[in-house]
Amino acid sequence: MKYIDEFQDPELARRLLDDIHSTVTRPWALMEVCGGQTHTIIRHGIDQLLPEKVELIHGPGCPVCVTPLEVIDKALEIASRPGVIFCSFGDMLRVPGTGRDLFQVRGAGGDVRVVYSPLDALRIAQRNPDREVVFFGIGFETTAPPNAMTVYQARRLGIRNFSLLVSHVRVPPAIEAIMRSPSCRVQGFLAAGHVCSVMGVEEYPELAERFRVPIVVTGFEPLDILEGVRRTVTQLERGEHTVDNAYPRAVRPEGNTAARAMLEDVFEVTDRAWRGIGVIPDSGWRLSAKYRDHDAEHRFSVDGIQTREPAECRSGEVLQGLLKPHECEAFGTLCTPRTPLGATMVSSEGACAAYYLYRRLDLTPAAREATPVV
Amino acid sequence: MPVLDPAAWTCPAPLRDQPRVVMGHGGGGALSAELVQHVFAPAFGGSVLAQMGDSAAVTLGGVRMAFSTDSFVVRPLFFPGGSIGDLAVNGTVNDLAMSGARAAYLSCGFILEEGVEMETVARVAEALGAAARTAGVEIATGDTKVVESGHGDGIYINTAGIGLVPSGVDLRAQRVVPGDVVMVSGAIGVHGVAVMSVREGLEFGVEIESDCAALGGLVDAMLAVTPDLHVLRDPTRGGLAASLNEIASASGTGVVVREREVPVPPAVANACAVLGLDPLYVANEGKLVAFVPREHADAVLDAMRAHPLGAGSAVIGEVVADHPGMVVARTGLGGTRVVDLPIGEQLPRIC
């Protein structure tokens, strides 16, 4: 962990920016896939420093944002039951389901616990053999392997009171869905480095070739983002469309083979709904038949949930890169982190939250006036 | 007595969304402030309470005093660099110091959970007594209650304190004006990360010790240079971001922070990077933020740096007339971003 300062160096950033400014001759629209990248871009004001001809479109890569409302409501239902200890990463607790969130379930007496690792949830299950312990398994290829490992361990150790509520999603089918959309404007991708550190880059050359779009594997610090942009626009200016790894300190071409093996053992590919977007074929994982005993949806009867999405929320368009957060009429007025209409405003990696938290001063005078002054 | 009518509230951040108390109501951010403004303040009334400072400035028998109380519910009871006993003294001493007062007397209320080991109680009491002696304050009165097993976290402590405010000292957010210089007394985020490292069993390569300390002596040193400091805050819950937002809001001015000037130790920065937290929002227990008239800034900074608890002091920004009520950071790369009041508590991200 010595990389933070090195990858935020203003002098190196200036050189990269100069290079990008001198390379770009035409307008280009690039999508950063991951919400963590979106936050780096907005938090450091990188979009303000790039040439006007380079537009960054924010992708669907926030695991909290894309988790369907139905799954959130299932989580709320399970967490409310007596005898259940419901474990989750912190940022899922404030995501609104239909009418409430996990914090409110906890305030009403539910045993909802924040953990930093799914293995912590497994330990809670070991210490509480008379309780049902459920872990909320959401996220992309980055979080799926440790969650798979937890189920693998539960089975190996014979821990029967542990289950996973699964809503894992995969990036490549989302890229395909975005490129197939008739309204797609994306000309190049900054692929999510953490995802590629697990999966490698083998899934991407076919996509780059089929859609004739450069895909540059990119990290998360400011200089990573600038280097990713530089390499993408360089390809675009030259008319190239290859897969390029700009994050070699974390990403090997084959990825993390042990993590991939764990994924293949515990999960199987399935169609998956993305909040605000809809069902994308083959875009998710579910527990394979061998591990179904540890599937919370099988263990708890949570069918027949009626969901209700706020009609004003346009987060689906934001997730598909069709709308910038501040272009939504509800942004900063009806919809704020205090009163979110959708998950993109409440998640720590959500694009709407990034714009509201960091950029509302210069983007929306109306939102500025509406800022709650406490 | 005012009648609460939730349906009639027009606050842009309504409590009607929170029919029950959630942890964020104690987090020092927007939810905490709303609880006080919508429930406690209307019920209690009183002009002194309306000041809403870290401590209340009161005049009794012609003497100006600061009066403050704080409760401590930290887990674990002992952490690197301190304990709940140290916090219980230093927290209230520092709240008084932020009014310019040297704490004179404290009260100490213990709420003990049935079953907690007597040795633990004794260790906490010893730590509390030692902290009081270090701070130069006397524990003058106290109280003990015991709750049934399962109804507490071992030990909760409440302290209250009083101290005299020197003449000529008037520390209030309302005195802040554009041109004021904003400074902090050292590295930020240390206490919050230290507690998190033991509470959550996280290790960050090097042990991070809490900065828990009593700041009365440092404030004395600053006031010796000039009694004309505008406002002081100890950025505890909600961190530096919450303190700066409170001051910007109460003074109707804008605050600009130069992000690279904010002293964040590498260990804290790394821990925050791993957890997806922003150091500006992480709690401190032995630091202060000062808003100082520009003409006194250099001398005050020198005085702070000459004190052991202010050796790492730094100027981090200034007060502007633009964007009243808001805090804006200039990023290291040359961009800008809003630094908002936290809603409740910071939540570690998923990945």
- pLDDT score for A52: 95
| Cα–Cα distances in angstroms (integers) from residue B79 to residues B74, B194, B209, B210, B211, in the given order | 10, 7, 8, 8, 11
- Average pLDDT value for residue range B305-320: 98
Q: What is the Cα–Cα distance from B337 to B327, expressed in whole angstroms? A: 9
**Residue A374 touches partner B, C-beta closer than 8 Å:** yes
Chain A residues near residue B242 by CB distance under 8 angstroms: none
Cis peptide before B76 (omega within 30 of 0): yes
Return the number of CB contacts < 8 Å for A and B: 145
Residue B197's closest chain A neighbor by CA? A116
In terms of CA atoms, which chain A residue is nearest residue B36?
A374
A97 in reach of chain B (CB within 8 A): no
Written in H, E and C, the secondary structure of B39-102 is: HHHHHHCCCCHHHCCCCEEEEECCEEEEEEEEEECCCCCEECCEEHHHHHHHHHHHHHHCCCCE
Q: Is the ipTM of this complex over 0.90?
A: no
* Coil/strand/helix, residue B228: coil
* Number of neighbours of residue A12 by Cβ within 10 angstroms: 15
Mean pLDDT of B323-349: 82
Q: Do B332 and A8 touch (CB under 8 A)?
A: yes
Q: Which of A90, A45, A70 is nearest to A347 (CA)?
A: A90
A212: region left, alpha or beta (phi > 0 left; psi from -120 to 50 alpha): left
Instruction: Give the pLDDT of residue B173.
Output: 93
CA pair distance B61, A128, nearest whole angstrom: 59
How confident is the model at residue B31, as a pLDDT? 79
For residue B327, the model assigns a pLDDT of: 95
Q: What is the pLDDT of residue B42?
A: 86
Cα distance between residue A78 and residue B249, in whole Å: 41
Q: 281-300 in A: which are within 8 Å (CB) of B?
A: none
pLDDT at B51: 72
Residue with tokens 């150790």: A157
Residue of chain B minimizing CA distance to A348: B349
What pLDDT score was predicted for residue A373? Answer: 33
Q: Are B77 and B120 in contact (CB under 8 A)?
A: yes
CB contact under 8 A, B338 and A357: yes
Q: What is the pLDDT of residue B49?
A: 77
Determine the pLDDT at residue A372.
41
- Region B262-276 average pLDDT: 88
Q: What is the pLDDT of residue B205?
A: 65
Q: Is A113 on the interface with B (CB under 8 A)?
A: no
Rounded to a whole number of angstroms, the distance from the CA of A313 to the nearest CA of chain B is 18
Nearest residue in B to A93, CA atom: B347
pLDDT of residue B13: 29
CA distance B11 to chain A (A): 8
Q: Determine whether the interchain pair A348/B24 forms a contact, defined as Cβ–Cβ distance below 8 Å.
A: no
Listed as ranges, residues in chain A with pLDDT below 70 are: 1-5, 363-374
pTM of the model: 0.81
A4 and B266 in contact by Cβ < 8 A?
yes
Reference A127, options A104, A108, A141, A111; nearest CA is A111
- Per residue in B151-170, pLDDT (tens digit) is 988 999 999 999 999 999 99
Inter-chain CB proximity A45 and B331 less than 8 Å: yes
Closest-CA residue of B relative to A42 is B337
pLDDT value at residue B18 = 65
Per-residue confidence band for B225, with pLDDT thresholds at 50, 70 and 90: very high
Measured CA to CA, the distance from residue B294 to residue B350 in angstroms comes to 43
pLDDT per residue as tens digits for the range B2-61:
333 323 322 222 334 567 787 778 777 777 888 888 888 888 887 777 777 778 888 999
Q: What span, in angstroms and rounded, lies between the C-alpha atoms of A267 and A151?
A: 10
CB atoms < 10 A from the CB of A75, how many?
Answer: 28
What pLDDT score does B344 carry? 65
Of A223, A266, A283, A213, nearest in space to A29 by CA: A213
User: In the structure encoding, which two tokens stand for residue B258, read together?
Assistant: 């130069």
Residues 31-70 of A with CB under 8 A from B: 36, 42-46, 48-49, 63-64
Which residues in chain B have Cβ-Cβ distances shorter than 8 Å to A93? 347
Q: How far apart are CA A151 and CA A265, in angstroms?
A: 10
B125 Cα to chain A: minimum distance (Å): 31
Q: What is the dihedral of CA B231, B237, B242, B244, to 10 degrees?
A: 30
Element (H, E) at B237: none
| Contact between chains at A349 and B350 (C-beta distance less than 8 A) | yes
Q: What is the CB neighbour count within 10 angstroms for residue B173?
A: 21
Helix axes B266-275, B190-199, angle to 10 degrees: 50
Option in B246, B275, B350 nearest A139 (CB): B350
Residue in B33, B200, B274 closest to A374 by CB: B33
Tell whether A373 lies on the interface with B, counting CB pairs under 8 A. yes
- DSSP assigned state of B36: I
* pLDDT (tens digit per residue) in B226-245: 999 999 999 998 899 999 99
Confidence of residue B145 (pLDDT cuts 50, 70, 90): very high
- The residue of chain A with its CA nearest to that of B15 is A338
| Residue B264 three-state SS | coil
**Which of A49, A89, A104 comes nearest B334 by C-beta?**
A49
